[in-house]
Amino acid sequence: MPKKILLACGILSSLLYVGIDALAAIRFGNYHSYASQAISELGARGAPTKPMVDPLFIAYDMLILAFGVGVWASANGRRALRLIGWLVIGIAAVGLVTPPMNLRGTGDISADMPHIVLTGVLVLLILAAIASGASLYGRRWRTYSFATLVTLLISGGLTGLDASRLAAHEPTPWLGLLERINIGAYLLWMLVLAIALWREAAAQSNKAAKGRGRVLPMRGAA
């Protein structure tokens, strides 16, 4: 049961992230466009939604941390899952220490460097986790994982180009859309993995319960 709860945290984390993005964009006020504005702007220094999203993103990272522990505990000799567990724990840890960016049009690129560097570390950890898990569940899962990696690499590269325009205080007509495609592909992969592992844990629990049910009558008869 504890392992199933930890794995359920992976499902909740993806749903929570999508909810944070939707709710904060509504509460922001002058957040003009999902297509042009980054998710990071919702929690930027000086953003009106920062007090709201900060504790929610901490909750998200704690759910990811719990999920990473659940993945590690579900390895059962599978090295790929053990590695993914550590990588997911790393994603949570880096997320917790990544500082916010400055609000669009304020500050300079040097002030945002810690945010940019640690975001880059997050991207590497995510790519490594997905690549490590590509061989877990056969051809269809492998194809899906590789498609996710390609999506992340393309959308991430294009996001980086638009991010440089953001730093230069220039218009970024597609930054928000590209970033949401990037993050959405990652969140979906994590969600699907969490569901698959949760089902495995549930099946193991049911099998163990049936085994105990067969043994108990014998003890009573004795």
- At 85, list the tokens: 């567990």
Across the chain, mean pLDDT equals 84
pLDDT at 221 over 50: no
pLDDT tens string 9-33? 999 999 999 999 888 877 776 655 6
- Lowest mean pLDDT across 15-24, 51-60, 107-116, 136-145: 107-116
- At 107, list the tokens: 């500050």
Q: For residue 77, what pLDDT is reported?
A: 84
pLDDT tens string 34-87? 677 778 888 888 888 888 899 999 999 999 999 999 999 988 888 999 999 999
Distance CA 155, CA 158 (A): 5
Across 29-45, b (16+ Cβ under 10 Å) vs e yields: eebeeeebbbbbbbbbe
Nearest Cα to Cα of residue 183 among 91, 115, 111: 91
Helices (H), strands (E): how many in the chain? Answer: 6, 0
CB of 92 closer than 8 Å to CB of 116: no
Q: For residue 167, what pLDDT is reported?
A: 67
Distance CA 105, CA 87 (A): 34
Using CB atoms within 10 A of its CB, is residue 220 exposed (0-12), middle (13-18) or buried (19+)? Answer: exposed
pLDDT at 220 over 70: no
Alpha-carbon separation of residue 135 from 16, 84, 182 (angstroms):
27, 12, 22
* Sign of the CA dihedral with 54 first, then 56, 60, and 61 last: positive
pLDDT at 129 over 60: yes
Say what the pTM is: 0.85
